[in-house]
């Protein structure tokens, strides 16, 4: 199996002793869409800039398709496309000219250059405004143009630093449809950072969360959601007390992980609410306890994010753990 | 090498394309050199205060004013790199499959595009003031080439200075602090022989002096005795500046 990205122990200390990365390990499979999540200042951009050969890590090493980002920088740059977090097109020339200049910088053969550019404009939906100055573009159009520039050389891997920052929902979907189509059509690996959890959830094959320069977890979105303690079922009991016997019986049920009673609610944490619900209901019914209302809460990727990165592991972080509890319902890991 | 040349040419083309949409700046930038010629040139011409070995003073300083304009444009152009650090353009260029020095040289040389435009605006004004150019197209093209090449060196010099700047503040001040000494401690406005000894020494180490001499010889006096030396000094200056700028570039991008 070739990895698109394979990084070991990456550290980066900026001037002024800012430790932006503190030992990052990363494996990204070829052809995957990989989401990098993390709070502001976590080190996402720093990681991306090292992987795209802009500067060397202070220590550690990284390979892009088996090419070393430090030693084989020139080779790496031939197989990657990159859209930085900040705007990276020239605003005082038009969209077509932006692509033309990049095509020349990238050394696209002059025979096919025009066709490639036109295909790219077409596929990004930029044909109509191609002759307009980029100054007049909306944020979504600029992002599409930037992705078009990065895709000109059909890179094996595309690095996108917050590709949909500031875009409206329709523009975000449009951008993602293109990215997914690149993956499907050309097998392009997409490595992107984002603050939009729904995006990571919907489009990524794998997710990693970075916080204060360390990878705190990674896996598929589902795996991460399951890695929180499970799903919560809340039974509202019409002013009925649950006796110890019943509690013990429910605790003893196979899928049940924990049970907490508060006033007239019974909180049952399980692995999977859909399959666990009938058997908990059976137990309650046979004990003659009437249930007024049932709600189930599944952890979302947002809960995962808040759990792993919502606290900066600093004193006073308890309140954000509380938020996780309130939202996902007792999904804290022990 | 091929990669590098490609990048340099693409960046020059970029500058030409940008220029098409940015014409007002070309003319506002031209105001200063035109004033130098019209006011300073004509006034001192009448005073006959400066020994110019026979040629009218306006003719004498026309190459000097051209080079002042080139210097001004190139230095400010190079310094704008500090601005671009905060946009993604620089980052994206670094990730393009081309050596880093090509980006630096391309950036520097494309300042030459703007510089030449300034020179082209100065020429009709000079003609109106009665400056007589040597009517030899080959000389003329050679002079433009020298202006273009020295512009690259000055832009690279200002990239080096930009890499030392932490913030954008004092940007204009730094620009002036770079431009004015180079300009006044050169033969742009007066012959080296008429300078105080200390300034003479500075002028001898000032690349602008050699560029002025070359352009003055090719456009006005026809005296090409020192042209080989001029060209050698300018080439050396450019290579040195490109090399140091490529090295100091790391500071800008990190
Ligand atoms: N050029 C730099 N010089 C010094 N420190 C830097 C530099 N760039 C980033 N840092 C610091 O390194 C840390 C990581 O920054 P980085 O930009 O990688 O975070 P990020 O995850 O991309 O954040 P965001 O979500 O806000 O974009 C921060 O503490 C930041 O202040
Ligand atoms: Mg960032």
- Taking only the tens place, the pLDDT of each residue in B44-102 is 777 777 777 788 888 999 999 999 999 999 998 888 877 777 788 889 988 988 888 99
Of residues A321 and A136, more confidently modeled: A136
DSSP label at residue B168? S
Kindly indicate the confidence band of residue A318, based on its pLDDT and cuts at 50, 70 and 90.
very low
Distance from CA of residue B65 to its chain's centroid? 10
Kindly indicate the confidence band of residue B167, based on its pLDDT and cuts at 50, 70 and 90.
low
Among B residues 85-104, those touching chain A with beta carbons less than 8 Å apart: 86-89, 91-99
Mean pLDDT of A193-200: 93
Residues 6+ apart with CB under 8 A from B179: B68, B71, B72, B75
A275 with A158, same domain: the answer is no
Which of A15, A20, A200 is the best mutation target for the ligand 1 pocket, counting ligand atoms within 8 Å of the beta carbon and taking the most? A20
Per-chain mean pLDDT for chain A: 87
Enumerate the H helices of B129-226 as residue ranges. 137-164, 171-184, 197-204, 207-216
Per-chain mean pLDDT for chain B: 88
Tokens 């090449």 belong to residue: B149
The half-sphere exposure of B97 on its side-chain side, counting CA atoms within 13 A, is 20
On whether any CB of chain B is under 8 Å from the CB of A9, the answer is: no
Which of A14, A17, A84, A210 is the best mutation target for the ligand 1 pocket, counting ligand atoms within 8 Å of the beta carbon and taking the most? A14
Q: Count CB atoms within 10 A of the CB of residue B3.
A: 16
Helix axes B100-128, B57-79, angle to 10 degrees: 150
Q: Give the tokens for residue A106.
A: 């990238």
Q: With contact defined as beta carbons under 8 Å apart, do B159 and B108 qualify?
A: yes
Q: With contact defined as beta carbons under 8 Å apart, do B58 and B129 qualify?
A: yes
Domain count along chain A: 2
For residue A248, what are the CA distances in angstroms to A239, A254, A273? 19, 12, 19
Cβ contact, residue pair A149, B92, below 8 Å: yes
The 10s digit of each residue's pLDDT in A22-57 is 999 999 999 999 999 999 999 999 999 999 999 999
What pLDDT sits at residue A68? 96
Backbone angles phi, psi at A289, to 5 degrees: -100, 115
Longest CA–CA span in chain A (Å) reads 82
Q: Give the tokens for residue B138.
A: 């080959």
Q: Is A45 in the pocket of ligand 1 (CB under 6 A)?
A: yes
Q: Domain for residue A333, yes or no? A: no
CATH code of the domain containing A72 = 3.40.50.300
Cβ contact, residue pair A106, B93, below 8 Å: no
What pLDDT sits at residue A327? 32
Lowest mean pLDDT among A141-155, A193-207, A314-328: A314-328
Q: Domain for residue A122, yes or no? A: yes
Q: With contact defined as beta carbons under 8 Å apart, do A46 and B254 qualify?
A: no
In SS3 terms, chain A reads as: CCEEEEEEEEEEEECCCEEEEEEEEEEEECCCEEEEECCCCCCHHHHHHHHCCCCCCCEEEEEECCEECCCCHHHHHHHEEEECCCCCCCCCCEHHHHHHHHHHHCCCCHHHHHHHHHHHHHHCCCCHHHHCEHHHCCHHHHHHHHHHHHHCCCCCEEEEECCCCCCCHHHHHHHHHHHHHHHHHHCCEEEEEECCHHHHHHHCCEEEEEECCEEEEEECHHHHHHHCCCEEEEEEECCCCCCHHHHHHHHCCCCEEEEEEECCEEEEEECCHHHHHHHHHHHHHHCCCCEEEEEEECCCHHHHHHHHHCCCCCCCCHHHHHHHHHHHHCCCCC
Cβ contact, residue pair A14, B254, below 8 Å: yes
Rounded to the nearest angstrom, the distance between the alpha carbon of A212 and the centre of ligand 2 is 12
Mean pLDDT of B171-181: 81
For residue B87, the chain A residues in CB contact (below 8 A) are 86-88
Q: Domain for residue A334, yes or no? A: no
CATH code of the domain containing A303 = 3.30.70
Mean pLDDT of A111-131: 92
Q: Is the pLDDT of residue B240 over 90?
A: yes
A205 with A235, same domain: the answer is no
Q: Give the tokens for residue B172.
A: 């204009």
Kindly indicate the confidence band of residue B169, based on its pLDDT and cuts at 50, 70 and 90.
low
A248 with A263, same domain: the answer is yes
Name the residue among A49, A97, A105 with its Cβ closest to that of B96.
Answer: A105
Name the residue among B13, B92, B250 with its Cβ closest to that of A84.
Answer: B92
Q: Is the pLDDT of residue A108 over 70?
A: yes
Q: Is the pLDDT of residue A321 over 50?
A: no
**pTM to 2 decimals?**
0.84
Exposed (0-12), middle (13-18) or buried (19+): which is A323, by Cβ within 10 Å?
Answer: middle
Cβ contact, residue pair B21, A88, below 8 Å: no
A217 with A246, same domain: the answer is no
A93 with A193, same domain: the answer is yes
Mean pLDDT of A157-167: 92
Nearest to B106 by CA among A92, A101, A142: A101
Nearest to B89 by CA among B18, B156, B21: B18
A248 with A216, same domain: the answer is no
Query: What is the complex's ipTM, to 2 decimals?
Result: 0.87
A23 with A169, same domain: the answer is yes
Q: Domain for residue A332, yes or no? A: no
Tokens 């997710």 belong to residue: A207
- Domain boundary residue, one of A194, A224, A254: A224
A220 with A102, same domain: the answer is yes
Q: Is the pLDDT of residue A189 over 90?
A: yes
Query: A235 has which bridge partners?
Result: A266, A294
| Cα distance between the two ends of chain A | 35
Q: Which domain holds residue A294?
A: 227-326
A185 with A282, same domain: the answer is no
The 10s digit of each residue's pLDDT in A251-290 is 888 888 888 887 788 888 888 888 889 999 998 888 888 8
A210 with A273, same domain: the answer is no
Mean pLDDT of B128-149: 94
Which of A10, A18, A83, A208 is the best mutation target for the ligand 1 pocket, counting ligand atoms within 8 Å of the beta carbon and taking the most? A18
Residues 6+ apart with CB under 8 A from A219: A206, A207, A227
What pLDDT sits at residue B207? 95
Q: With contact defined as beta carbons under 8 Å apart, do A227 and A219 qualify?
A: yes
Residues 6+ apart with CB under 8 A from A5: A26, A27, A28, A34, A51, A62, A63, A64, A157, A189, A191
A136 with A196, same domain: the answer is yes
DSSP label at residue B86? T
Q: Domain for residue A245, yes or no? A: yes
Kindly indicate the confidence band of residue B1, based on its pLDDT and cuts at 50, 70 and 90.
low
In whole angstroms, give the CA distance from residue B142 to residue B147.
Answer: 9
Distance from CA of residue B17 to its chain's centroid? 20
Q: Domain for residue A191, yes or no? A: yes
- Domain boundary residue, one of A205, A224, A243: A224
In whole angstroms, give the CA distance from residue A246 to residue B75.
Answer: 83
Q: Give the tokens for residue A182.
A: 């690149």
In whole angstroms, give the CA distance from residue A272 to residue A255.
Answer: 8
Of residues B167 and A299, more confidently modeled: A299
In whole angstroms, give the CA distance from residue A42 to residue A21.
Answer: 8
Q: Give the tokens for residue B83.
A: 């601005």
On whether any CB of chain A is under 8 Å from the CB of B25, the answer is: no
A307: distance to nearest CA of chain B, Å?
A: 32
- Domain boundary residue, one of A224, A246, A281: A224
A143 with A266, same domain: the answer is no
Backbone angles phi, psi at B68, to 5 degrees: -65, -40
Backbone angles phi, psi at A83, to 5 degrees: -120, 110
Q: Count CB atoms within 10 A of the CB of residue A79.
A: 17
For residue A139, the chain B residues in CB contact (below 8 A) are none
């Amino acid at each position: 199996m070739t990895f698109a990205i394979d990084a070991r122990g990456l550290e980066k200390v900026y001037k002024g002793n800012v430790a932006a990365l503190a030992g990052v390990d990363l494996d990204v499979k070829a052809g995957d869409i990989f989401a990098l999540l993390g709070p502001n200042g976590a080190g996402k951009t720093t990681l991306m800039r090292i992987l795209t050969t802009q500067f060397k890590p202070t220590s550690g090493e990284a390979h892009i398709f088996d090419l070393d980002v430090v030693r084989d920088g020139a080779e790496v740059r031939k197989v990657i496309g990159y859209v930085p977090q900040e705007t990276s097109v020239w605003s005082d020339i038009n969209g077509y000219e932006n692509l033309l200049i990049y095509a020349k910088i990238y050394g696209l053969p002059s025979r096919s250059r025009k066709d490639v550019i036109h295909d790219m404009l077409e596929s990004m939906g930029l044909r109509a405004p191609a002759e307009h100055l980029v100054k007049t573009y909306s944020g979504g159009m600029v992002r599409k143009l930037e992705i078009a520039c990065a895709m000109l050389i059909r890179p094996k891997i595309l690095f996108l630093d917050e590709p949909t920052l500031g875009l409206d929902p329709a523009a975000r979907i449009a951008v993602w449809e293109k990215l997914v189509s690149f993956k499907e059509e050309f097998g392009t690996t997409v490595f992107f950072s984002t603050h939009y959890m729904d995006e990571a959830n919907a489009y990524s094959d794998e997710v990693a969360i970075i916080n204060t320069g360390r990878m705190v977890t990674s896996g598929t979105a589902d795996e991460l959601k399951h890695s929180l303690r499970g799903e919560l079922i809340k039974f509202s009991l019409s002013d009925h007390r649950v006796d110890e016997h019943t509690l013990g019986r429910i605790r003893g049920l196979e899928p049940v992980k924990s049970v907490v009673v508060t006033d007239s609610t019974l909180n049952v944490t399980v692995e999977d609410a859909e399959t666990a619900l009938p058997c908990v209901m059976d137990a309650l019914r046979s004990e003659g306890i009437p249930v007024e209302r049932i709600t189930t809460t599944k952890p979302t990727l947002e809960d995962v994010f808040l759990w792993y990165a919502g606290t900066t592991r600093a004193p006073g972080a308890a309140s954000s753990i509380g938020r996780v509890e309130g939202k996902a319902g007792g999904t804290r890991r022990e | 090498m091929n990669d590098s040349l490609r990048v340099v040419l693409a960046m020059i083309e970029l500058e030409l394309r940008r220029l098409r949409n940015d014409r007002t700046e070309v003319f506002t930038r031209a105001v200063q050199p035109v004033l130098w010629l019209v006011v300073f040139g004509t006034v001192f011409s009448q005073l006959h205060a400066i020994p110019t070995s026979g040629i009218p003073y306006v003719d004498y300083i026309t190459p000097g004013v051209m080079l002042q304009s080139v210097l001004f444009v190139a230095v400010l152009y190079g310094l704008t790199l500090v601005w671009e650090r905060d946009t993604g353009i620089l980052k994206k260029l670094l990730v393009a499959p081309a050596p880093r020095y090509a980006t630096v040289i391309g950036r520097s040389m494309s300042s030459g595009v703007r510089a030449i435009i300034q020179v082209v605006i100065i020429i009709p004004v000079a003609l109106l003031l009665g400056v007589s150019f040597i009517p030899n197209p080959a000389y003329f093209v050679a002079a433009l080439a020298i202006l273009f090449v020295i512009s690259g060196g000055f832009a690279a010099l200002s990239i080096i200075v930009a890499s030392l700047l932490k913030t954008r503040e004092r940007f204009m001040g730094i620009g002036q602090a770079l431009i004015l000494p180079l300009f006044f401690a050169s033969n742009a406005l007066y012959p080296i022989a008429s300078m105080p000894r200390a300034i003479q020494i500075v002028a001898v180490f000032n690349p602008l002096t050699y560029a002025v001499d070359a352009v003055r010889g090719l456009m006005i006096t026809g005296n090409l005795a020192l042209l080989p030396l001029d060209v050698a000094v300018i080439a050396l200056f450019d290579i040195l500046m490109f090399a140091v700028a490529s090295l100091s570039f790391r500071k800008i991008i990190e």
